[in-house]
Structures are given as structure tokens and as C-alpha cells.
Amino acid sequence: MASRKNAFYAQSGGVTAVINASACGVIETARANKAKIGKVYAGRNGIIGALTEDLIDTTKESASAIAALRSTPSGAFGSCRFKLKSLEANKREYERLIEVFKAHDIGYFFYNGGGDSADTCFKVSQLADSMGYPIQAIHVPKTVDNDLPITDCCPGFGSVAKYVAVSALEASFDVRSMAKTSTKVFVLEVMGRHAGWIAAAGGLIEDHGIPVIVLFPEIEFDEKKFLARVDKLVKQHGYCTVVVSEGCHYPDGKFLAEQGTRDAFGHAQLGGAAPVVANMVKNALGHKFHWAVADYLQRAARHIASKTDVKQAYELGKAAVQLALKGHNAVMPTVDRISDKPYKYKIGMAPLARVANVEKFMPRNFITADGFGITEPCKRYLKPLIQGEDYPKYKDGVPVYATLKNVPVAKKLPKFDLK
């Protein structure tokens, strides 16, 4: 691209503790390349911001405000759960995108998200071919689920993994203290609807002497085997910890979390897997239990973010801009692992055609033969990703997290209704 163009950046899907670090990498790198990249416009609420011409002028933010994104969890510009349909199914949306891009002289499209978002980014990357609008679309990987293919890991995951390992360790120490007369089984539910990467991080506490059972979405739940395992661990250690993935399910595909629980009025209750597992243990073995559902706490926990994760999130944002400047389109920067110990990696590149809509599950050799724990290769994989602490600054006892001004760009086009 010869002339200077503006860039569009947006955040998509579930946010993480470090997606703003990627935003920081994108914006700071664009600012350092003003000869080629004009303004960075952020989409308010992801691609919706592009469709509705709801753009944020990031040039109105000071250098220190942008720098503060590096230690702020969540999506500073708002995120969305919105997937572009195919060109055939909804041409109107693509035409609108091009109108907005034209109106604001946008030649670069940076989309920061997971598998669904990679699909959106890929569709945008094809606009030059399909609709004759020249644009370079680069995907910035992000997902706590760690399920994007090709890249060794995904920004957001290392911090959740660290949160889960630390929290499970701490709660297990608690249970160990109480087991004589009180709680014997502690159940922690973590995210991961299809892939068990986050749950796997709970398995790391085994190396700290904790009897732990991990329940993965990749392994069909076998109640009898599970209860026998709990029984054995409690008899042996006096207590045990269970880390259950929200996606854990029975052989017929039914989630543990969807046990048909009903309230007093017969209304279906949306519950968690943790209380189901805990009650199962109570009913079968009689042990006193406690359970926790970490939910958003885990993916928002910037206070205990992995330093490795924060660094990679920033580097991948930076790399996305560098790839665009080199003329690439329809690609995603990746983390390519060189070695486990010492941990070495380089930033690589993957074609979006091979990333979009592909989910990477835990390899079977990362899960123990009995299906209840993680293997040494899995531990070697996980440990570098949770290394290092990257503490935010604190004021009055809580972290100082940035809230941007998010000044809107003046609209030039008629209103567009999302359907």
C-alpha cells in the first residue's frame, strides 16, 4: 500500500486480562509508523462499531493512557459477540463495511479475538478480491480458551492458567487445614466449553503435593470412576480438590452443568458444573464439600496476570502492525515455541484460512491415561506460560485500571440498522 491509510482496530468475543495489552501493542506500533499509518480508529464494541460507524479516535488518548492499557483487563473499546455472515448470506453488511472504510480512509483492519473473530477477520481480508476494496486484515489472537490452531498459545490463556493454578493451590491448602472436622472435597469450576486447557492448569498443583482430579471436556464423564477416584484420594490424603471444566459432559453430550436443575417453582435453573459435582460426591460418599465458580473472575484477573502472557499479548499486537506494514493480508501473528526449558519462542505467522473456525483441543498425551490428570509433557507445555508476575499499580488498595476517554469520530454516513 503506497499512500498513508488509517487503521481500524477492534476487540471481539470474551475479553481477557491482557487483550488491552495487545491493543497497546497495535496502537503504539502504529503511532511509531506514522508515515504509513494515519489514525487508529477503534471500533466501539468490535465489528459492530465498524458497521454502525461508531468509531473511537484513539489519537485523542495520551501516550500514557495508551501505555496504561498494558495493565488494564477487559476490552477498553468494548467487545461484542457478533459474527459476520457469509458474503452470500448478507452482502449488505459487507457493502456497509466498505462504505465505512472508504468514508474514513481505512486501509488496515486489525481484529483481536478468537476463532469466531478470526472468521470475521478472514471475511474482511477477502474484500479486495470479493468486492474490490483494497484492505489488509490481520488477526490478533486472543482467547482464554487457548484453542486457536497453529500458534503455540493464545494471549489471555497464560493469565487464566496462572489464576487457576494459584487459586486451586490456595483453596487446596484451605481444605487441607479443615479436612479433619469439616470440608473434605473442594470443587472449582473453570471455563472451557470445548477445550480443557484452563482446567489442565489446575493439574499443576499436583506438583505441590495436592491430591487433585481434573475433569476435561475432552474426556467423557464417568461418574462411577470419578467417585471411586475421589474416595481413594480422600482415604489416602484426607481431602481432595476437583477442578472441573464447564464443558465437562456425559457420553451422550449432556453437560454436567445442565442437570435439569429446577427451582421451587419448577423453573429450569441455569447452574454450574461445580455444584453438580459437589452434590454428587456428597450423595455418594457423604463428604462435606465446598465449591467455587470462578467465572469472569478468572479471565479478568489482571492482578495475577502472567508476565509471559502480558509480554506476548503486547508482542502479537505489535507484530500484527508490522505484518501489515510488510504488506501481508489474511494472516495472524503466532507464538512459535522453540524450547520448553529454557523457554524460548519467536513470533511467526499463520494464514487466516487455516485459523478461522478451527478449534485446538488438548492432545490425548497431555491427559493421563485414567483421564483425571495432566502428564509431564502437559506440565512442560504449561509451566512457561504462567511464568512471572506483572503487577498493576495500586491506589487505595485496588489496582489502577485505565478507562479511556473513547472520543467518537464524527459520523459521515447515514444510520445503519443491525439486523
Under rule CB under 8 A, which residues in 180-219 are in contact with its own copies?
Answer: 180-183, 186, 188, 204-205, 207-209
Is 145 labeled as catalytic in the residue annotation? Answer: yes
Q: Which of 132, 251, 327, 397: binder of its own copies (CB under 8 A)?
A: 397
Strands 394-395 and 398-399: antiparallel
Site membership for its own copies, residue 264 (CB under 8 A): yes
Q: Please, which residue, 7 or 204, has the CB nearer to its own copies?
A: 204
Site membership for its own copies, residue 361 (CB under 8 A): no
**Residue 404: CB minimum distance to its own copies, A:** 12
Sequence-distant (6+) residues with CB within 8 A of 374 are 200, 203, 204, 206, 214, 366, 367, 368, 382
In which element (H, E) is residue 98 found? helix 91-103
Q: Please, which residue, 86 or 182, has the CB nearer to its own copies?
A: 182
Q: Which window, 92-100, 357-365, 369-377, 382-390, contacts its own copies (CB under 8 A)?
A: 382-390
Q: Please, which residue, 77 or 122, has the CB nearer to its own copies?
A: 77
Q: Which of 33, 82, 287, 348: binder of its own copies (CB under 8 A)?
A: 82
**Residue 122: CB minimum distance to its own copies, A:** 20
Q: Which window, 33-41, 223-231, 328-336, 393-401, contacts its own copies (CB under 8 A)?
A: 393-401
Q: Which window, 56-64, 93-101, 192-200, 295-303, contacts its own copies (CB under 8 A)?
A: 295-303
DSSP for residue 140? E
| Opening angle at CA 328, ends 326 and 332, nearest 5 | 115
Q: Please, which residue, 123 or 328, has the CB nearer to its own copies?
A: 123
Q: Please, which residue, 66 or 331, has the CB nearer to its own copies?
A: 66
Q: Which of 100, 276, 335, 378: binder of its own copies (CB under 8 A)?
A: 276
Tell me the backbone φ, ψ of residue 24, rounded to 5 degrees: -60, -45
In which element (H, E) is residue 226 found? helix 223-237
CB atoms within 10 A of CB 266: 6
Q: Which window, 24-32, 78-86, 126-134, 310-318, contacts its own copies (CB under 8 A)?
A: 78-86
Q: Which of 386, 390, 404, 409: binder of its own copies (CB under 8 A)?
A: 386
Cα R_g (the chain), whole angstroms:
23
Q: Please, which residue, 56 or 135, has the CB nearer to its own copies?
A: 56
Site membership for its own copies, residue 408 (CB under 8 A): no
b/e map of 143-160 (b: 16 or more CB within 10 Å)?
A: bbbbbbbbbbbbbbbbbb
Rounded Cα distance, 49 and 339, in Å: 40
Q: Calculate the CA 203 to chain-centre distance.
A: 19
Residue of 308, 285, 182 whose CA lies nearest to 229: 285
For residue 216, with 0-12 CB atoms within 10 Å meaning exposed, 13-18 middle and 19 or more buried, which class applies? Answer: buried
Q: Which of 36, 98, 271, 322: binder of its own copies (CB under 8 A)?
A: 271
- Establish whether 145 is an annotated binding residue: yes
3 state SS of 303:
helix
Sequence-distant (6+) residues with CB within 8 A of 250 are 220, 221, 256
Q: Please, which residue, 2 or 393, has the CB nearer to its own copies?
A: 393
Catalytic residue among 119, 145, 147, 390: 145
**Residue 259: CB minimum distance to its own copies, A:** 5
- Establish whether 191 is an annotated binding residue: yes
Provide the mask over 161-180, with x wherever binding to its own copies is found by CB under 8 A and - wherever it is not.
-x--xxx-xxx-xxxxxxxx
Site membership for its own copies, residue 376 (CB under 8 A): no
Residue of 74, 12, 46, 103 whose CA lies nearest to 303: 74
- DSSP state letters, 63-94: HHHHHHGGG--S-TT---------TTT-HHHH
Which of the residues 228 through 257 are near its own copies (CB under 8 A)?
none
- Phi-psi label, residue 371: left if phi above 0, alpha if psi -120 to 50, beta otherwise: left
Binding residues: 14, 143-145, 191-193, 246, 296-299
Catalytic (active-site) positions: 145
Binding residues for substrate: 143-145, 191-193, 246, 296-299
Binding residues for diphosphate: 14
